[in-house]
């Protein structure tokens, strides 16, 4: 035979889209919203962003140095973690708290489980949840032009119509809130860029966002009159586009991703409507992150050669 069949181990399909390229694309998508956050919320926001990024990168480098492991800071995953954490913080947060949250995200949530690709929950959201429990006042103090006030979600939760920013302000980001969550239009454009570059699937953020809006309206959140505002306020867009789509902590199959996104939307609507905290994105995604292995187990494609409707097709175990 002139032509031989060559059999090799997986992966059989290769791509030039490396981890570094993916992270760099995510950074490009996040930068515009961060610039708008700094513009409206002040230069203090830039200091928080810098502190989180530096602390995350330094933590990853130090941990791997101490444990004699190859440094992975060049893949930029630590930069993305720092950027996402900073975007989930108010601009007035003390810098030492931002540093503590960054160290927790990288070492406790990421490196303790083996590094990139091994963490069971999103590092930035886990760090935000830890900080919210540890320093609730600092994490829920919102200012705009030096004046403290309630966020649009807090106003909506109280059922008030007055005090809600205009639609234009919701789109641009001229309102109080976390650094990276305020400019809805730039978050949407960043998400569209990621979908265009085939970095994330559109099904997760779209399903998550519309499920939250529809269910919150049905539950009567905000007086049953704010379905559009529901989508543009709080961290819904930031969480749905940039954190719920994390490869490591989201399902692999399309069916699983729909189930995961609907679960995130349901939990967010429940927390926003009846929870004691106006926002529910962080905890919703974290809860669904933990459920991902179970979702994958029951929605993964059948193992080649395994019989249909068989338990072993889901686990890959030998019968």
Does the residue 7 lie in any domain?
no
CATH number at residue 101: 1.10.3430
Find tokens 């650094």 and name the residue.
Answer: 179
pTM assigned to the model: 0.86
Q: How does strand 143-144 pair with strand 147-148? A: antiparallel
Name the 3-class secondary structure at 121.
coil
- In the chain, how long is the greatest CA-to-CA distance? 80
- pLDDT tens digits, residue range 222-260? 655 567 777 887 789 999 999 999 999 999 999 999 999
Establish if 3 belongs to a structural domain.
Answer: no
Residue 261 lies in a domain: yes
In this predicted model, what pLDDT tens digit does every residue of 98-107 receive, in sequence order? 999 999 999 9
**Residue the block writes with tokens 């049905």:** 218
In a domain, 311, yes or no: no
- Whole-angstrom CA distances from 227 to 151, 154, 215, 237, 262 are 17, 15, 9, 14, 16
Top pLDDT among 221 and 264 is at 264
What DSSP character marks residue 301? P
C-alpha distances in Å from residue 167, one per residue of 157, 171, 184, 224, 232: 18, 6, 10, 17, 9
End-to-end CA distance of the chain: 37
CB 44 within 8 A of CB 94: no
> Residue 65, Cα to own-chain centre: how many angstroms?
28
Residue 138 belongs to some domain of the structure: yes
Question: Which two three-digit tokens encode residue 28?
Answer: 């490009």
* Token digits of residue 280: 């529910």
Query: Is residue 120 in a domain?
Result: yes
pLDDT tens digits for range 140-190: 877 766 555 556 666 666 655 555 667 777 778 777 778 988 888 999 999
Q: How many domains does the chain have?
A: 1
pLDDT of residue 12: 58
Query: Is 263 within the bounds of a domain?
Result: yes
Asked whether residue 250 is domain-assigned, the answer is yes
Residue 104 — left, alpha, or beta (φ > 0 → left; ψ -120 to 50 → alpha)? Answer: alpha
Q: If you write DSSP's letter for every residue of 139-166 in order, what string do you get? A: HT--EETTEE---HHHHHHTT-STTPPP
Looking at the DSSP bridge assignments, the partners of residue 144 are 147
For residue 67, the enclosing domain spans 19-298
């Amino acid at each position: 035979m002139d032509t031989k069949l060559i059999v090799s181990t997986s992966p059989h399909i290769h791509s030039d889209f490396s981890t570094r390229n993916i992270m760099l694309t995510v950074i490009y998508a996040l930068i515009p919203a961060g610039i708008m956050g700094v513009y409206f919320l002040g230069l203090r926001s830039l200091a928080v962003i810098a502190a989180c990024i530096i602390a995350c990168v330094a933590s990853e480098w130090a941990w791997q140095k101490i444990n004699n492991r190859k440094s992975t800071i060049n893949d930029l995953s630590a930069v993305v973690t720092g950027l996402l954490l900073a975007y989930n913080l108010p601009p007035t947060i003390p810098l030492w708290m931002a540093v503590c949250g960054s160290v927790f995200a990288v070492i406790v949530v990421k490196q303790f489980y083996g590094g990139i690709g091994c963490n069971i929950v999103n590092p930035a959201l886990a760090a935000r949840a830890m900080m919210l429990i540890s320093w609730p006042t600092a994490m829920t103090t919102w200012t705009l032009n030096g004046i403290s006030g309630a966020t649009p979600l807090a106003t909506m939760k109280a059922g008030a119509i007055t005090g809600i920013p205009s639609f234009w302000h919701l789109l641009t980001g001229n309102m109080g809130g976390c650094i990276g969550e305020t400019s809805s239009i730039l978050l949407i454009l960043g998400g569209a860029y990621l979908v265009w570059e085939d970095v994330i699937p559109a099904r997760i953020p779209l399903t998550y966002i519309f499920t939250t809006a529809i269910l919150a309206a049905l539950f009567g959140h905000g007086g049953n009159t704010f379905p559009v505002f529901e989508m543009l306020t709080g961290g819904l867009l930031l969480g749905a586009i940039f954190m719920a789509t994390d490869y490591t902590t989201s399902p692999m199959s399309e069916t699983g991703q729909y189930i995961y996104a609907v679960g995130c939307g349901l939990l967010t609507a429940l927390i926003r409507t009846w929870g004691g905290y106006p926002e529910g994105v962080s905890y919703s995604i974290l809860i669904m992150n933990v459920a991902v292995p179970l979702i994958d187990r029951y929605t993964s494609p059948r193992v080649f050669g395994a019989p249909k409707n068989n338990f072993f097709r889901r686990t890959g175990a030998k019968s």
